Amino acid sequence: MIKNDLYLRALKGEIVERPPVWMMRQAGRFLPEFRELRGQYDFFTRCQTPELAAEITMMPIRRYPLDAAILFSDILVIPQAMGMDFEMREGAGPWLETPIRTLEQVQNIEVPNVDDTLGYVFDAIELTLIKLNNDIPLIGFAGSPWTILCYCVEGQGSKTFDKAKTFCFQNPEAAHLLLQKITDTTIAYLKRKVEKGVSAVQVFDSWGGMLSPQDYQEFSWHYINQIVEALSEISPVVVFGKGCWFALEEMTLSKASALGVDWTITPENARRLTGGNITLQGNFDPSRLLSPPETIKKMVTEMINRFGKDKYIANLGHGILPNIPLENAEAFIRAVVDWREN
C-alpha cells in the first residue's frame, strides 16, 4: 500500500484534506544535483541508464514534500524505439537528421516490441519503486501522437510546426498512418509501465494548441482518446493539452481520470467547461515561480481556493523552467502542503 495516496484519491474525485501537489518536469532541470549529473552524461544516456533515471526521479523527492514522483524520461524515446535516430543537441534541443516527410518513409516505420526497445525504461521503474519504498505514487508518461509527429516531421523544435501541419494537410494518408503507428506503440509502452508498477499515466500534448479545434479533433484527440480508452481499464489516465482549453468539454466525455490545464484559462472557466465532473490539474504559470516566495504563496493559495480543494491537483501550467530558484519551487510546494480550508 502506498503511504501517501493523496494524489490517487484526488484522481478518483474523493474528498481530500488538501489538494496533492507535484510539478511537471520536477525530475531535473532546475536542481543543482541534476545539473552536476548533466555535466557527466549526455541527455539520452541519462534517459537510457536505469540507475541514472531512477536517481534523477528521486532528486526532487528528497528535497521537497511532493505527493507524487514522475519518472525521468523523455517523450522522444518512443520515436527512437520506432527507429528514428533523435539526439539532443546543445542549444538546439531535439534533432532528427532525416525528418519524416513521405508516405514511403512512414510505411517503412515499424511498431516495435517495447520490451526489446524500451526495456531500460521499465528497468528504471523497478529501481525507482525500490527507492520510493511505497511512500508516494510514481507517474509514467508519454507524449501525444500529434506532439511526437511534430518532432518527427519538423526534425527539431519549432514555434509554429508549420512543416508538421503542412505534412498533415497535404499528405493526410501518411500523417494518419504515422499517428496510428505512434499510438499503437504508445499504448503498448504505457501498458507495460503500468504492469511494472506506475500508479498513473499522463499524456502530454505539448503542441495540441497549434491546431484549430477542428484539426485538433482529427490529428490529435482522435489518437489521444485511443490511448485513454486502452489504458483507463488498468490505470488512471491524465491528459494534458497545452493551449487546448477549447477541447476540454470533449475531453471530459472521455474515460480520462483528470485533465491538465495551462495558465491561459481561469480556474472558473476550466470548471465551467468541464462541468465540475472531472479532476483538474494545474495551472500556475511556470514563469510566476520567478516571483518572490511570499507572492508565490499568496497566488498558490488563491489558485487552490478558485479551483476548490476537491477534484484538483496543484501543479504548474507547463514544465518548470531551468532558472527557478530552489526556494521559489519550495514556496510553491509548501503553499499547497500548508493550505487549510478557511
Among the listed residues 5, 7, 18, 29, the single catalytic one is: 29
User: Is position 29 annotated as part of the catalytic site?
Assistant: yes
Residue pair 331/293 in contact (Cβ under 8 Å)? The answer is yes
Binding residues for substrate: 25-29, 44, 74, 151, 206, 318
User: Is position 9 annotated as part of the catalytic site?
Assistant: no
User: Is position 216 annotated as part of the catalytic site?
Assistant: no
167-173 long-range contacts (CB < 8 A, ≥24 apart) are 167/100, 167/101, 168/215, 168/219, 171/102, 171/103, 173/103
Half-sphere exposure of 301 (CA within 13 A, CB side): 14
Among the listed residues 5, 7, 18, 25, the single catalytic one is: 25
Among the listed residues 74, 184, 205, 262, the single catalytic one is: 74
Residue type, position 274, single letter:
T
Nearest one of 262, 260, 310, 8 to 138, comparing CA atoms: 8
260-264 long-range contacts (CB < 8 A, ≥24 apart) are 260/24, 260/202, 260/315, 261/317, 262/317, 262/318, 263/288, 263/317, 263/318, 264/317
Binding residues: 25-29, 44, 74, 151, 206, 318
User: Is position 38 annotated as part of the catalytic site?
Assistant: yes
User: Is position 25 annotated as part of the catalytic site?
Assistant: yes
Nearest one of 269, 282, 331, 288 to 311, comparing CA atoms: 282
225's grid cell = 482518446
Among the listed residues 9, 38, 63, 101, the single catalytic one is: 38
Among the listed residues 7, 64, 151, 223, the single catalytic one is: 151
Q: In this structure, what are the phi and psi dihedrals at residue 58, rounded to the nearest 5 degrees?
A: -80, -20
CB atoms within 10 A of CB 342: 5
**Exposure string over 63-101, b if 16+ CB within 10 A, otherwise e:** ebebbbbbbbbbbbbbbbbbebebebeeeeebbbeebbb
Three-state DSSP at 214 gives helix
The catalytic residue positions are 25, 29, 38, 74, 151
